Chain A
């Protein structure tokens, strides 16, 4: 069964460092998303991506964040200068077309900023 894969599963970084979280969406999917879940809190939408550009982003997704689809298979989330409050589980999701409701999620990357 096709699945969304994310690497690494756990990333520990020092405050102020840059991190790149990687996702490989399902191969024929067209819409890509990043969500995050701070421990004990709701899953929060960060950004959606379609046709090689951001289609929607939340207030959380400020200038410290960027996304890229560098090679047609990977979908990355970069945090330029991490803060303690960026510590969370980050989930990547993909969907095949606008009319399909099912979004497939990866297992998540646990980011710990120390």
Chain B
């Protein structure tokens, strides 16, 4: 069973804090790791993706993959109230026509 685990939260932090969001997965064949942001009643929006292990930075966001531990993270620096959303990790199953395997999503609340 290919599975992605993600704590649904909610995670509530004060504005300006560093946020750490995480997922674990069981299938060592996953190579592409994605983070999506979803606002209420909206479709998922791709934030970042990482291929294989390592870090990737984009502005205030850093994605990190540790394939040896099957653990991925998304860090948000200088968090803003507008970052309040549900953050979903997803992984590409290349054995199944590139379908996305999703985590449950973590609801993040940034308090002003």
Contacts and interface: CB of A to CB of B under 8 A. Distances in A.
A18 interface: no
Nearest to A105: B43
Contacts of A31: 97-98
B60 interface: no
Given A101-B34, A101-B92, A43 B44 contact: yes
Classify the interface of chain A: helix, strand, loop or mixed.
strand
A41 B51 CA distance: 26
B104 interface: yes
A36 to B, nearest CB: 11
B96 interface: yes
Interface of A: 4, 6, 31, 33, 35, 41-45, 48, 50, 55-56, 89, 91, 95, 98, 101-108, 110
